[in-house]
Amino acid sequence: MIFDIAPTSPTPIYRQIAEQLRRLVAGGQMRPGDDLPSVRAVALHHAINPMTVSKAYSLLEAEGLLERRRGMGMVIADSAPKSGLKQRRELLRPALEAAAQAARQLEISDNEAQALFQACLDDTPKGGNDDKSRS
């Protein structure tokens, strides 16, 4: 698994990792028992401090989303909360609010912004079950 890290984003890197993992679990792309890449592997791949990755994993472990298994590293917890459509929408909402604010600042019309969002959806590879992504 490779995270999509934006070093210049105002969102701290540990939060980017945590939010992406929450979405992957909520969307069903990661399931209970799935292994996570090691802290070292993520840090080396993205050229970031291992403590940053460790902080993200520890935060999600405290939330009950991840669990540490002796000799196996971090995995998605068996008790990871199941997310319905409402919870998945709430995870998407902050990104859409940021995009809406950017569209207003750029004076892009609602129709143009919606068309651009649809184009982004069309250009982005879908993960998992198409029915699930359209719920």
Q: pLDDT digit string (tens) for 30-39?
A: 999 999 999 9
Q: Which of 100, 67, 75, 76 is nearest to 26 (CA)?
A: 76
What domain count does the chain have? 2
Least confident of 56-60, 76-80, 129-133: 129-133
The pTM of the full predicted model, rounded to 2 decimals, is: 0.70
62 and 89 part of one domain: no
Residue 100 lies in a domain: yes
Confidence of residue 111 (pLDDT cuts 50, 70, 90): very high
Residue 3 lies in a domain: no
Q: What is the distance between the alpha carbons of residues 21 and 10, in angstroms, rounded to a whole number?
A: 18
Q: What is the mean pLDDT of residues 111-128?
A: 82
Q: Is 57 exposed, middle or buried (0-12, 13-18, 19+ CB in 10 A)?
A: buried
24 and 58 part of one domain: yes
Residue given tokens 């405290």 in the structure block:
62
Domain that holds residue 36: 13-76
Q: Which of 15, 2, 14, 1 is nearest to 95 (CA)?
A: 15
61 and 96 part of one domain: no
